[in-house]
Structure 1
Amino acid sequence: MKAFGFLSFGHYAIGGQQGPGAAQVLKDGLAIAQAADEIGVNNASFRVHHFAPQGASPMPLLGAIVGSTRNIEVGTGVIDMRYENPLYLAEEAAALNLLSDGRVALGVSRGSPEPAWKGWEAFGYTAEAENGADMARTKFESFLAAIDGYGVAKAAPVEKQYPRMYRSGTPLPVFPQAEGLRKNIFWGSGTNDTAIQAAKDGVNLMSSTLVSEADGRTLGEVQAEQIRAFRQAWKEAGHDWTPRVSVSRSIFPIVSDRDRQLFATSATGEDQIGSLGEGRNVTFGRSYAAEPDVLIEQLKADPAIEAADTLLLTIPNQMGVDLNVSILQNFAEHVAPALGWIPNTEGKVTGYAID
């Protein structure tokens, strides 16, 4: 592990439930990221879900963070391509990358099941596959073409242009363009096949918070195999740059009586098997909560953390700014250095070299 960050699911309360509302959660996300930047935490990432009281439109929050921090990179885990206009997303991503001087680590994917049945149709999109995977793939390809600067439209006849800028029929890219943006894009993968496809596409890998295999192996073991497959496919594809790989875990260092009271019972001894309602079982990662020396040994034994270059801590965002900042501070002071952490002081994070 060379870098660590946090991943917020952005849960908020609605309908008279106890807990912070949407406005407070957004403001808390900004405050946590600002404090994390001062600590030297490398990444601030946010989940994206639709038709649920969670984060759904990340760009305003990410823009606020990059405008008020110096070094921390901002990202998503993940943007659901089924709900996106890929060209508009390309414009937003490029603008964010330019504003942040390249401090973007944007995770995109097909997305997970949502409360709405084919909710992307309400957004104006249709798919042949019931889960929308075909549409997500097509949109992702359009997104990559757009950020790479390919023409995605044609210039109007000169006499109909305003202002008159191009010859009729000239292929037009979207603007702005941010050189090298593809190197800041991650595909959120839950299977070996999608990890290999990400390598072929020439984007980084964000191994999911769960994996589709449920064969008795730990999440770390399955993800480590996925990472190996990704890196081998990357070598075979012959790309001329080194990709990054991130994984996420729920980790709570216990360094005070308050930590013990809040988190001691959060630890789970093993991963969990569950279902996402798509007719297959999946493996969810365990939660870690222990004193730093114990945590260090547990995390060193996780082969996916060992193989990845970035570890994202999933944080309990509903519990407020102070508590979440203390989790990050405790991890930075008492755990991360033993795992090879390099504090972020230059606004950039680089991945491991590929053997």
Structure 2
Amino acid sequence: MKRFGFLSFGHYSLKPDKTGKYGAQEALNQAVELGQIADELGVNGAYFRVHHFAPQYSSPIPLLSAIAATTNTIEVGTGVIDMRYENPLGLAEEVAALDLLSDQRIAIGVSRGSPETALRGWEAFGYGGPELAREDPKGAALAAEKFDTFLAALRGDGMATAAPFEQQYPQMFRSGTQLPVLPHSPGADRRIWWGAATHASAELAARKGVNLMSSTLVFETNGSSLGDVQAEQIARYRREWEKAGHDWEPRVSVSRPIFPIVDGSDAQIFGPAGSGESHDSIGVLDDQRGIFGRTLVDTPDKIVEALKNDKAVMAADTLMLTIPNQAGVAVNARILENFAQHVAPELGWEPATRG
């Protein structure tokens, strides 16, 4: 583990009090503030979940832009954007612009997405329809097609044909020329991650030439721990990457809920040391049985020991700490500070630096 960051789900209340407490505006402002504090601590990344039709973050690019504009070294990203809801060319334009404005400090995770509160909510966004719903009820094929288009656009491939010269305004291109979406940020595609909950999805990410964001849950429930299953997923991803012959080194991330207990005030907030879950959780998501990671609430030495024994954490280069964003900035800053001072150095952490 060389890097660590925080992963926020962005929950807020639909009925904030008269001051706006716990509402959407406060959640967004607190995310920016926490990003700034994390940047000062040398934390490597600020990552955000994306969900639609729910009181959580839903339009990440403005939020990431606000954090990038007010920080110096921290990378900003998502975990993950649901491609079923996206216009792939529009997203490619926004991601390229953010990459340029942030001096290439992005880590944009995308995937098919997880279940939503809406029934095929992407149809309300203008994608799909009754016929597609019968053929592709979960939108997996729709997301895959959009992802391919998004990657091609981000890599600068032609996406439209230039009009006859005399019809163009401004007159810039030879008639029939294939036009890329603009702006173009060279290398931005190497800062794209695919969120994978299965071995097959991870192998596909390798073939497509993007980084791997191993999901907060995995579906290969064979009795092994989450860390062991993810470690196998990471190994398969790297083998497939080598077979594909890509000419650069990819990144891999995993996420864990971790609360270091350094003193009595931490214990009052998070519970006494050792009060976390002793085993991974088993649950059903999207009609599939999956493994969720356990929550670590313990002293730094015990957390270091647990993470060193977590094969996936040690195989990945980036660890995302899932945080309770509704707990407020001070509480979440304390989690990051405790982890940066007492845990991360024992795991090989390299604080963020410019360039």
Residues 45, 76 of structure 1: 8 Å contact kept: yes
Aligned to 1:20: 22
Q: CA RMSD in A?
A: 1.2
Aligned to 1:67: 69
| d(CA) in 2 for partners of 1:290, 1:148 | 44
Shift of 1:19: 5.9
Task: Name which of 55, 58, 61 aligns with 2:57.
Answer: 55
Task: Name which of 216, 219, 222 aligns with 1:212.
Answer: 219
Task: Flag as ranges the 4+ runs of structure 1 deviating above 6 A.
Answer: none
Shift of 1:256: 1.5
Shift of 1:264: 2.4
Task: Name which of 155, 159, 165 aligns with 2:166.
Answer: 159
| d(CA) in 2 for partners of 1:144, 1:181 | 9
1:213 alignment partner AA: E
Shift of 1:214: 1.9
Aligned to 1:264: 271
Secondary structure of the structure 2 residue equivalent to 1:187: strand
The reply to whether residue 274 of structure 1 matches residue 276 of structure 2 is no
| d(CA) in 1 for partners of 2:215, 2:332 | 22
Residues 247, 304 of structure 1: 8 Å contact kept: yes
| d(CA) in 1 for partners of 2:40, 2:224 | 38
Shift of 1:279: 2.4
Aligned to 2:198: 191
Task: Name which of 329, 333, 337 aligns with 2:337.
Answer: 329
Task: Name which of 37, 40, 46 aligns with 2:39.
Answer: 37
| d(CA) in 2 for partners of 1:145, 1:214 | 34
Residues 19, 318 of structure 1: 8 Å contact kept: no
1:262 alignment partner AA: I
Shift of 1:15: 3.2
Residues 15, 23 of structure 2: 8 Å contact kept: no
Secondary structure of the structure 2 residue equivalent to 1:213: coil
Secondary structure of the structure 1 residue equivalent to 2:125: coil
Residues 12, 19 of structure 1: 8 Å contact kept: no
| d(CA) in 2 for partners of 1:78, 1:89 | 13
Q: Percent identity?
A: 60
Shift of 1:197: 0.4
Aligned to 2:249: 242
1:107 alignment partner AA: G
Give 5+ residue unaligned stretches, structure 2.
none
> Aligned in 2, Cα 1:151/1:54: closer, same or farther, shift over 3 Å?
same
2:219 alignment partner AA: S
Shift of 1:22: 0.4
Secondary structure of the structure 1 residue equivalent to 2:312: helix
Residues 252, 316 of structure 2: 8 Å contact kept: yes
Deviations 1:167-218 (A, max 9, x none): 2111000000000011100000000001000000000000000011222111
Secondary structure of the structure 1 residue equivalent to 2:271: helix
1:1-355 equivalences under 5 Å are 1-15=1-15, 20-126=22-128, 127=132, 128-264=135-271, 267-276=276-285, 278-347=286-355
| d(CA) in 2 for partners of 1:82, 1:256 | 45
Give 5+ residue unaligned stretches, structure 1.
348-355
Aligned residues: 346
| d(CA) in 2 for partners of 1:84, 1:328 | 32
| d(CA) in 2 for partners of 1:152, 1:337 | 46
2:289 alignment partner AA: N
Secondary structure of the structure 2 residue equivalent to 1:318: helix
